[in-house]
Amino acid sequence: MSNYSLNPELIVPMPTGKNAGPKTDSPMDSLSKDQIAEIQSEYEKKSRDYYHEIILDKANKIRISQIRELKKKLKLSQSVSGRRVIIISQAHLMGQEASNALLKTLEEPNQKTTLILTTNNYEALLPTIISRTQHIKFPPISDSEIRRCLLENNISSENPELAVKLARGSVSNLQKVNSAEAEDLQENAIQMMRTALKKRYRIDLTNSITEIVSKKDKNIIREYLTFYANWFSDILKFNSGVNINGSDNYLKITEKFSLNFGNKDLHLAVKYCQEAFQTIDQNVNPNLIFISLFIKLRKVFL
């Protein structure tokens, strides 16, 4: 059994260990030393920078053992003075067992405890979770605030204004932005989508996918799928008259795509992108992830 314990104030999706089972006492018990070291490193980065996004290799679910451990520690700390805040990040990745295990805590919360569930996929939460929580939507941060963050944190960029636009209202995005690389990814992703919607698309699209997959970097695949989910969400906002963030070129392309495909089921397109994202750490061939996604998107838009 591991002697390392997770910080119960922040719960994130965890990888599956070799001997994990429904009765595992701790989410750390079945993990390797390398996995535990990765988790420790990510939590330490988060403690130094609360904008840091924790992404663990092969982590695709919040497990019931994490919720059980949380409930146990909450019971042991009921006598502690002061308010305790627990954040469950990417709450839509709780499995049904984990969600059900959390229900009683949501129904009968400790008066000194605040539970915050964050998600960018609200519809994927179980109805029982949704009905027992208060819902607060956070709009993107304004460009002026992103610009201030860029200056105050000395985030380097050859083109600060483009970096602000590419951040699209997110400080986490801003930290990952290399203006040239981010713009190239954006343009390549949009071109792939255009190719996928052509009558004869297979050869060109396959070549583009092969080029991405050949880099053998899961984070790049995550960035493409995240871009598509965000882009389709932005088109939905644009259709509703909501202002969206992005470079001038991005806004023009989004407007044009909206004119051509704005009447399609964009919610379903977003859902397909999010489902594809979740398969990245499930040993699914990356080529198949992209091919399957584009086939589904063709059915949505054509």
pLDDT at residue 2, as a whole number: 43
Q: Structure pTM?
A: 0.68
Query: Does residue 282 sit within a domain?
Result: yes
Helix (H, G, I), strand (E, B) or coil at 85: strand
Based on the fold, state whether residues 265 and 195 are members of the same structural domain: yes
Q: How many C-beta neighbours within 10 Å does residue 30 have?
A: 18
Query: Does residue 269 sit within a domain?
Result: yes
**By residue range, what is the domain housing residue 244?**
178-301
pLDDT at residue 245, as a whole number: 76
Based on the fold, state whether residues 184 and 293 are members of the same structural domain: yes
**Residue 301 above 90 pLDDT?**
yes
Query: Does residue 271 sit within a domain?
Result: yes
Based on the fold, state whether residues 126 and 182 are members of the same structural domain: no
Q: What are phi and psi of 179, to 5 degrees?
A: -50, -50
Query: Does residue 163 sit within a domain?
Result: no
Based on the fold, state whether residues 185 and 268 are members of the same structural domain: yes
Q: Which residues contact 110 (CB under 8 A, 6 or more apart)?
A: 74, 78, 84
**Which of 102, 130, 158 delimits the end of a domain?**
130
**Residue 25 above 80 pLDDT?**
no
At 122-160, the pLDDT tens digits run 878 889 999 999 999 888 888 888 888 888 877 766 677
Query: Does residue 77 sit within a domain?
Result: yes
Residue 9: closest CA among 59, 60, 58, 80: 80
- CATH number for position 80: 3.40.50
Q: Give the mean pLDDT of 21-43.
A: 79
Query: Does residue 117 sit within a domain?
Result: yes
Q: Report the C-alpha gap between 173 and 43 in whole angstroms.
A: 19
At 225-244, the pLDDT tens digits run 988 988 998 899 889 888 88
- pLDDT tier for residue 3 given thresholds of 50, 70 and 90: very low
When divided into structural domains, the chain yields a total of 2
Which is higher by pLDDT, 248 or 299? 299
**Which of 96, 130, 164 delimits the end of a domain?**
130
Query: Does residue 154 sit within a domain?
Result: no
**Which of 62, 96, 130 delimits the end of a domain?**
130
Q: Report the C-alpha gap between 142 and 160 in whole angstroms.
A: 15
Based on the fold, state whether residues 234 and 294 are members of the same structural domain: yes
Side by side, which strands form the sheet with 113-117? Answer: 10-11, 84-88, 113-117
161: tokens are: 């204004």
At 80-107, the pLDDT tens digits run 667 888 999 989 888 889 999 999 889 8
Query: Does residue 192 sit within a domain?
Result: yes
